[in-house]
Amino acid sequence: MNTDVIVVGAGPTGLMLACELALVGVRPRVLERRTAPQRDSRALSLHPRSVELMDQRGLLDRFLPLGRAVPGWHFAQLPTHLDFSALDSRHAYTLFIAQAHTEALLAERARELGVEIERGYEVAGLSQDDGGVEVRVRGGDGSVETVRTGYVVGCDGGRSVVRQSAGIAFPGTDETLTGVLGDFAVTGTGLDAARARGVLVAPLEDGLTRLVYLDPERLRVPAGEPVTLEEVRASLVRICGTDCGVGEPRWLSRFGNATRLAESYRRGRVLLAGDAAHIHFPAAGQGLNTGLQDAANLGWKLAAEVNGWAPPGLLDSYDAERRPVGRAVTDNTEVQTLLAELTLVPRYQRPATALRALFDELLGMDEVNRTLAARVSALGTAYEPTAPEADPLAGRRMPDIGLTTATSDAIRVYELLPAGRYVLLDLTGDPELVPAVTPGWGTRVTAVTVTGRDDHPDLHGVTEILVRPDGHIAWATRTTDVRARRAERHEALTAWAGTGAGTGAGAGT
């Protein structure tokens, strides 16, 4: 077998996944059809949960200097914005950063971890059996080689060859409307008028401005039809009375609202992530972020399978956890699209305007705003616990509280996660935790005795907690009886981190 994992696609999702695999000893082969990195950036933001993921891996200091933090975001371009700053996170903001920068930074990290990104290669097809996957790879010269691998992950976009070759259906709705985006040097006035008429105006680097709009007279133009500068100017004049002085574009693109969700994120040894698993209208900029979060969920699970210690069902939990998230994202983007589209249809303009006004009023209510902000930011993502009597914290994000360890070190929880391992925290100051856990699971679990910590309402009464490599909570207990807690710990570690080395696994039972 040539390699353990082939990752198809070197966009943000594929690169993030490659980093996650390499971090824990799996060397993926990354194949990318494009011969050079993408210069232009369809996506422009990292939402709070994605920013947290970069913090968890010790990468955030690379991203922050290249971005700009804003405290909220929009929902359906309504006047009242989502207030991310009200959410429970050290990073309750959107990081406005071009996709090209995100890709470049993740590619840099992948290379540091020993990953080679092979450009100019595309997958021509694949077949699988119980022992592996045969992948037909076409090089830039047209030659085709067959490579055998343990697993394949399709991160190759909405037209994924991997998904099609694996026979995974992609049900959903076809494109019914399209919008246009363009990056321009804007020399005139009129941007305020454009904003007032629903045009998204975003300042970029190098003095460029991005304009994104829906033109009622051009809604049904197929996404594959090229955009021209003349079309943009005519549309802007129709929409806002001025062409905003747009000059020669650096980039023009048309995009549609086709919305699809893979019927499964896994078929045997073939898995999907990012746009290969879900596509939708780019409402609120959730696509890239959802893909990064797919990769963060999948990477450590697939690595555990490759490395031979994954407990039963761990890899299957990727589909069980992430596909409902994909469904929620496609649902909310369809709602946002409808709120925009109906105002452009003469028959529905009056009730649609009233509906938008009602939604905007609702966004002014703190509880409603927090609910939608948690969904769009992904800070509200929580996975269903597998244990029937799990603590209410199971599946939720671990708060990034400050800790004092038994060695008197002051540290944040997220500073314990860059190695991509589980983190087991004893919040009672038990000096026996580390010697009890390390002999059995020391290569998979970082055990930390906590002698002091920040107060957090969600953690009141919690005595021990197991944090997954992706920062979500695998297990928590409020048991104060030491023997009972050690028994619970042994069961939780075995369920999540596999059987420990040696008899009894060193769990202190």
Band (386; pLDDT cuts 50, 70, 90): confident
Predicted pLDDT at 122: 94
Q: What is the CATH number of domain 178-256?
A: 3.30.70.2450
The C-alpha atoms of residue 182 and residue 247 are separated, in whole angstroms, by: 11
Question: Three-class SS of residue 126?
Answer: strand
Q: Rounded mean pLDDT of 221-225?
A: 95
Using the structure block, give the residue that is written with the tokens 């943009």.
Answer: 232
> What is the percentage of the chain residues whose pLDDT exceeds 90?
88
Contact 427, 391 (CB under 8 A): no
Q: Rounded mean pLDDT of 477-482?
A: 95
Q: Is the pLDDT of residue 234 over 60?
A: yes
Question: Three-class SS of residue 50?
Answer: helix
Indicate where the chain has its CATH 3.50.50.60 domain(s).
3-173+259-377
Which pTM value belongs to this model? 0.95
Nearest to 151 by CA among 8, 293, 9: 8
Q: Which of 35-39, 216-220, 332-336 has the lowest mean pLDDT?
A: 35-39
Give the model confidence (pLDDT) of 429-439 as tens digits: 988 999 989 99
Contacts of 419 (CB under 8 A, 6+ apart): 23, 24, 446
The C-alpha atoms of residue 209 and residue 442 are separated, in whole angstroms, by: 51
DSSP alpha helices (H): ranges in 241-315?
Answer: 287-306
Strand partners, 6: 29, 152
**Residue 308: what residue type?**
G
Contact 386, 366 (CB under 8 A): no
Q: Is the pLDDT of residue 410 over 60?
A: yes
Q: Which two tokens stand for residue 16?
A: 């993030």
Count Cα neighbours of 241 within 13 Å in the Cβ-side half-sphere: 7
Q: Rounded mean pLDDT of 358-372?
A: 97
Contact 302, 271 (CB under 8 A): yes
- Element containing residue 488 per DSSP (H, E): helix 482-497
**Residue 440: what residue type?**
G
Band (2; pLDDT cuts 50, 70, 90): low
Q: Which of 49-58, 153-162, 411-420, 425-434 has the lowest mean pLDDT?
A: 425-434
Q: Rounded mean pLDDT of 7-11?
A: 98
Q: Is the pLDDT of residue 162 over 50?
A: yes
Q: Choose between 347 and 388: higher pLDDT.
A: 347
Count Cα neighbours of 431 within 13 Å in the Cβ-side half-sphere: 2
Q: What is the DSSP-derived secondary structure letter of residue 399?
A: P
The C-alpha atoms of residue 382 and residue 378 are separated, in whole angstroms, by: 9
Displacement of CA 361 from its chain's centroid (Å):
29
Band (502; pLDDT cuts 50, 70, 90): low
Tell me whether strands 259-261 and 172-173 are parallel, antiparallel or unpaired.
antiparallel
Give the model confidence (pLDDT) of 462-475 as tens digits: 999 999 999 999 99
Q: Rounded mean pLDDT of 216-242?
A: 95
Question: Three-class SS of residue 499?
Answer: coil
Predicted pLDDT at 240: 92
Nearest to 476 by CA among 457, 463, 486, 487: 463
Indicate where the chain has its CATH 3.40.30.120 domain(s).
402-506
Give the model confidence (pLDDT) of 286-320 as tens digits: 999 999 999 999 999 999 999 999 999 999 999 99
The C-alpha atoms of residue 220 and residue 118 are separated, in whole angstroms, by: 38
Backbone angles phi, psi at 171, to 5 degrees: -70, 155
Q: Choose between 38 and 454: higher pLDDT.
A: 454
Give a three-class secondary structure readout of 251-275: EEEEEECCEEECCCCEECCEEECHH
Band (407; pLDDT cuts 50, 70, 90): confident
The C-alpha atoms of residue 69 and residue 81 are separated, in whole angstroms, by: 15
Q: Is the pLDDT of residue 492 over 50?
A: yes
Q: Rounded mean pLDDT of 391-403?
A: 97
Give the model confidence (pLDDT) of 240-278 as tens digits: 999 999 998 999 999 999 999 999 999 999 999 999 999
Indicate where the chain has its CATH 3.30.70.2450 domain(s).
178-256
Predicted pLDDT at 506: 39
Mean pLDDT of the chain: 94
Choosing among 3.20.20.70, 3.40.50.300, 3.50.50.60, 3.30.70.360, the CATH entry for 3-173+259-377 is: 3.50.50.60
Q: Is the pLDDT of residue 423 over 70?
A: yes
DSSP alpha helices (H): ranges in 78-166?
Answer: 99-112, 161-166
The C-alpha atoms of residue 391 and residue 377 are separated, in whole angstroms, by: 24
The C-alpha atoms of residue 76 and residue 340 are separated, in whole angstroms, by: 7
Question: Three-class SS of residue 290?
Answer: helix
Q: Which two tokens stand for residue 181?
A: 């985006």
Give the number of other CB atoms < 10 A from CB of residue 167. 9
The C-alpha atoms of residue 233 and residue 123 are separated, in whole angstroms, by: 39
Q: What is the CATH number of domain 402-506?
A: 3.40.30.120
Q: Which value, to the nearest 10 degrees, does the dihedral of the CA atoms of residues 134, 149, 264, 8 take?
A: -90
Q: Is the pLDDT of residue 503 over 80?
A: no
Contacts of 361 (CB under 8 A, 6+ apart): none
